[in-house]
Structure 1
Amino acid sequence: MTLAIELSKEDNKLLTEGKRLSAKQPFIIGGEYNLNNFYLKDFKKNIYYNSSIAKQVYNVPDGAKIKIVIKDSDID
């Protein structure tokens, strides 16, 4: 079943302008594509959070060990 189908009408009401579904555990570090791994986040903070991770893993070879640093200000 796709994520879009899993979202109930009640969940869709919570997804308002300026909010985005964000992964609690980023997919790049093994986060799962299921509803338990999503929460609503402010659009601008979501972009900042995702771009922070993207900058840290850019040009890192697949399988390389890395440490992703996420500041408290990136989360909420």
Structure 2
Amino acid sequence: MPEHETTSPYEVTWTMDLDAADPVDAAREALDIIRDPTSWALIFDVRGNGQAVTVDLDPDHTDPSGQGTPKVTPAP
């Protein structure tokens, strides 16, 4: 990041529904999914800097790296 660029604090959440034996098992399954480099878990709710948006890092479902053109919409 360039030295002159400022940053702001953001709260970023990623939500998923899954079945598990207990809360710890659910958290471990979610961690496995989000750490998987081929995961398509690319939609995040972002709050901060006076805004709340949903960011889809791969709206066309063509690039799981998340480096494509994102879609940003107001959060519900």
What TM-score do the two structures reach when normalised by structure 1? 0.25
Q: Going by fraction, where is strand more abundant, 1 or 2? A: 2
Q: Which has the larger radius of gyration?
A: 2
